[in-house]
């Protein structure tokens, strides 16, 4: 909305400057002396403003937007407070924790939550998620889970909602449902994830719209046969305390 308002005011400025340029040209043509010189200078200045304004709106501004859309947001894993809901793969406490690396048990099925917040408003025609790594080793996403909804379907998958949910040959989960991502709004996505072999894997998130974008930061999933690696909290929801660690429970 701000961009539309700016474009409108920018366009009005160009029309005003164009009018000044035309008036200055006419003035320099029909009169002589200082008024002619002043009219010519006004026409030149107005023409330069019109050109620069157009270059900014049609070249610089779209290029900056395209650049921002390549990495539009930051993303974190959410570990809920114990009283909110049970998270079996960690030792929970009374706080909700935000982390960028999870420790999960191998050969297990777990439910994870990812939160992202964009620094720019944009429309995504599709969002897809998946892990890097060897096909027979990396974690895979089996379905979407709606852990934060009290009513409605708690889960959907390519089997239950094939029109919107797909899994490609690289084990990336696609949600082909158009979505408007608002600036500075928190969005939660829940997954049912199946881990296999131990290792460190990067979870990728792609937003398909005007361009294909990814979060600015890495999200890592550490899979261990006997989970012991603690997860560093980067922020609490209410208290920006960042010196705590979350202990993995060792089971799913």
Task: Tell me the domain boundaries of the chain.
Answer: 2-69, 73-246
Question: What is the bridge-based pairing of β-strands 219-224 and 101-105?
Answer: parallel
pLDDT digits (tens, 9 = 90+) for 195-252: 999 999 999 999 999 999 999 999 999 999 999 999 999 876 555 555 689 999 988 7
- Between these two residues, 216 and 57, which has the higher pLDDT value? 216
| Mean pLDDT within 123-129 | 96
**Within the chain, how many helices (H) and strands (E) appear?**
3, 17
CB 213, CB 70: distance < 8 Å: yes
Q: How far apart are the first and last CA of the chain?
A: 45
Predicted structure pTM score? 0.78
Task: Please give the CATH architecture assigned to the domain spanning 73-246.
Answer: Sandwich (2.60)
Q: Rounded to whole angstroms, how far apart are CA atoms 122 and 138?
A: 31
With a cut of 90, say whether residue 62 has pLDDT above it.
Answer: no
Burial environment of residue 198 by CB neighbours within 10 A (0 to 12, 13 to 18, 19 or more):
middle
The mean of the pLDDT values for the chain is: 84
- In the three-class reduction of DSSP (H, G, I as helix; E, B as strand; rest coil), residue 229 is classed as coil
The pLDDT value recorded for residue 20 is 54
**Lowest-pLDDT range, 59-63, 128-132, 199-203, 216-220?**
59-63
pLDDT of residue 150: 79
């Amino acid at each position: 909305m701000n961009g539309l308002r700016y474009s409108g005011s920018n366009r009005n400025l160009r029309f005003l400057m164009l009018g000044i340029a035309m008036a200055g040209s006419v003035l320099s043509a029909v009169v002589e002396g200082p008024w002619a010189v002043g009219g010519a200078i006004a026409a030149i200045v107005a023409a330069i403003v019109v050109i620069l304004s157009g270059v900014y709106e049609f070249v610089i501004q779209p290029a900056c937007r395209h650049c921002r859309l390549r990495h539009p947001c930051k993303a974190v894993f959410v570990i809920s407070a114990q009283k909110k809901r049970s998270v079996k793969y960690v030792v929970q406490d009374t706080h909700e924790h935000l982390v960028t690396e999870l420790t999960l048990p191998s050969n297990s099925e777990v439910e994870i939550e990812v939160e992202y917040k964009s620094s720019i408003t944009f429309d995504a025609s599709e969002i897809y998620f998946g892990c890097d790594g060897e096909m027979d080793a990396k974690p895979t996403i089996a379905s979407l889970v709606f852990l934060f909804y009290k009513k409605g379907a708690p889960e959907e998958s390519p089997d239950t909602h094939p029109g919107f949910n797909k899994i490609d040959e690289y084990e990336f989960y696609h949600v082909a449902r158009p979505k408007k991502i608002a600036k500075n709004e928190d969005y939660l996505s829940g997954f049912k994830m199946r881990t296999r072999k131990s290792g460190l894997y990067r979870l990728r998130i792609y937003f398909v719209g005007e361009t294909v974008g990814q979060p600015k930061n890495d999200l890592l999933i550490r899979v261990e046969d006997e989970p012991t690696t603690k997860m560093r909290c980067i922020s609490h929801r209410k208290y920006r305390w960042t010196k705590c660690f979350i202990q993995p429970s060792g089971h799913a």
